[in-house]
């Protein structure tokens, strides 16, 4: 894993635990992860459907 990603993840956990609005940070991070996963999923589906139509 890249050191930059590890540092960003550590910063996210730090903010979740110590910030007074940590619950909202956790929810935003969770929503972002779900949205990124859905985007990747649909990107793969789109590429497969394009490849099959050729």
In the chain, the largest separation of any two C-alpha atoms, in whole Å, equals 53
**What pLDDT is stored for residue 52 in this prediction?**
66
Tens of pLDDT, residues 6-44: 999 999 999 999 999 999 999 999 999 999 999 999 988
| pLDDT of res. 53 | 64
Higher-pLDDT residue of 53 and 24 is 24
Are 26 and 13 in contact by the 8 Å Cβ rule? The answer is: no
* Angstrom distance (rounded) from CA 47 to CA 42: 9
- Kindly provide the residue ranges of all beta strands, DSSP E only, lying in 1-54, ordered along the sequence: none
pLDDT at position 37: 94
pTM of the shown model: 0.69
CB 22 within 8 A of CB 16: yes
């Amino acid at each position: 894993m890249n050191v930059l990603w590890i540092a960003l993840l550590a910063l996210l956990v730090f903010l979740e635990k110590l910030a007074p609005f940590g619950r909202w940070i956790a929810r935003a991070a969770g929503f972002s992860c779900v949205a990124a996963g859905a985007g990747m999923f649909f990107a793969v589906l789109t590429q497969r459907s394009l490849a099959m139509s050729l």
